[in-house]
Amino acid sequence: MEPILLVIAGWWWIAPAAAGAGAATYAGLTTRSRRARRLELDAARQEESLAYRELVAAKARVRTANADLLTAKSRSGAPAFQAGDARRELLAAKQAEKTASLALRASRSRVRAGYAQYRAATANDPLPIDRLYAAHDAINLRWLAYETDVDRALAYPQMTDVRHPATVAFLRAQREALAKRPTLRERATPQQFLEYRAAVHHLESTFDEAERRAGVVGAARPASPAASAAAGLTAAAAVIAELADRLPTLIAKLPPPRTSEPPAGRVP
């Protein structure tokens, strides 16, 4: 009995240490998996933050351009082209501000969509980075069809001709997408996700353009009715939002109602 007590007295700390190590490992794996599943949402929030900073910078540019225009108008002996340049800069700054405002609204919509998708996702759904991997691999498979299929290679030799500008643009986009592809799927950062997603989208667009230039049958696919409807709704929402922003200004510019007296002999 005494040897057993001696062993227990000397090694009693092993069980709590093992339990603590197991709990820490489980917590780390759970946190890593949760971070991987909300990667798209975190990337959308980072994109929203960048869009907000760009809007602030665009508003500052508008104020600076307006001040430069007022300064150019106040100088009596200043050349006329200075005021024209300042006016053009102000118009460009206002256009950049409008573009930045729309980009911020779009990024906020992506944040809401990413949050809803994250809440609706299950453990069996693929990770956001896996969906990008699949899209990237699908484009590479479409490209390999022209390299491995002799009939397609003979029918569309332009797709394998590195001297053609559209093919060169696709090959450059392919190299860029491969360089932006994260190697560790569960440790990709939101910035890496954004860069890789942009590279994959650019790769797809350049490949479609290369197929269209090569005359591939079915390359110039028309947009689906659902995509067209979504694009129309997005454009309509942007127009309605812009009208809502300008409505107070338009109401303020309306002339006041006339208060003229009615003609004689007519009851008002």
To 5 degrees, how large is the angle CA 253–CA 257–CA 258?
A: 130
Confidence band for 5, pLDDT divided at 50, 70 and 90: low
Tokens of 260: 């003229």
Confidence band for 238, pLDDT divided at 50, 70 and 90: very low
Position 146, amino acid: Y
Give the Cα separation of 34 and 26 in Å (integer).
Answer: 12
196 or 228: which leads in pLDDT: 196
Mean pLDDT (whole number) for 72-92? 79
Per domain, the residue ranges of the chain are 36-123, 126-217
Mean pLDDT (whole number) for 192-203? 94
Mean pLDDT (whole number) for 64-87? 80
Give the Cα separation of 104 and 173 in Å (integer).
Answer: 27
Query: What local confidence, expressed as pLDDT, does residue 221 receive?
Result: 53
| 79: region left, alpha or beta (phi > 0 left; psi from -120 to 50 alpha) | beta
Query: What local confidence, expressed as pLDDT, does residue 81 receive?
Result: 67
Q: Alpha carbon 194 to chain centroid distance?
A: 7
Q: Alpha carbon 213 to chain centroid distance?
A: 27
Residue 119 has pLDDT above 50, yes or no: yes
Per the confidence metrics, is the pTM higher than 0.85?
no
Query: What local confidence, expressed as pLDDT, does residue 121 receive?
Result: 83
Confidence band for 2, pLDDT divided at 50, 70 and 90: low
The answer to whether the CB of 196 falls within 8 A of the CB of 180 is yes
To 5 degrees, how large is the angle CA 62–CA 66–CA 69?
A: 140
CB atoms within 10 A of CB 227: 10
Confidence band for 68, pLDDT divided at 50, 70 and 90: confident
Encode pLDDT of 171-189 as tens digits.
999 999 999 999 887 788 9
Position 124, amino acid: N
Confidence band for 232, pLDDT divided at 50, 70 and 90: very low
Confidence band for 76, pLDDT divided at 50, 70 and 90: low
Q: What percent of the chain has pLDDT over 90?
A: 39
Encode pLDDT of 11-35 as tens digits.
555 555 544 444 444 334 344 577 8
Residue 50 has pLDDT above 60, yes or no: yes
Query: What local confidence, expressed as pLDDT, does residue 230 receive?
Result: 43
Give the Cα separation of 171 and 156 in Å (integer).
Answer: 16
Query: What local confidence, expressed as pLDDT, does residue 184 receive?
Result: 81
Mean pLDDT (whole number) for 194-208? 95
Encode pLDDT of 155-166 as tens digits.
888 888 888 999
Query: What local confidence, expressed as pLDDT, does residue 87 receive?
Result: 87
Query: What local confidence, expressed as pLDDT, does residue 64 receive?
Result: 93
- Please, what sign has the CA dihedral across residues 248, 251, 253, 256? negative
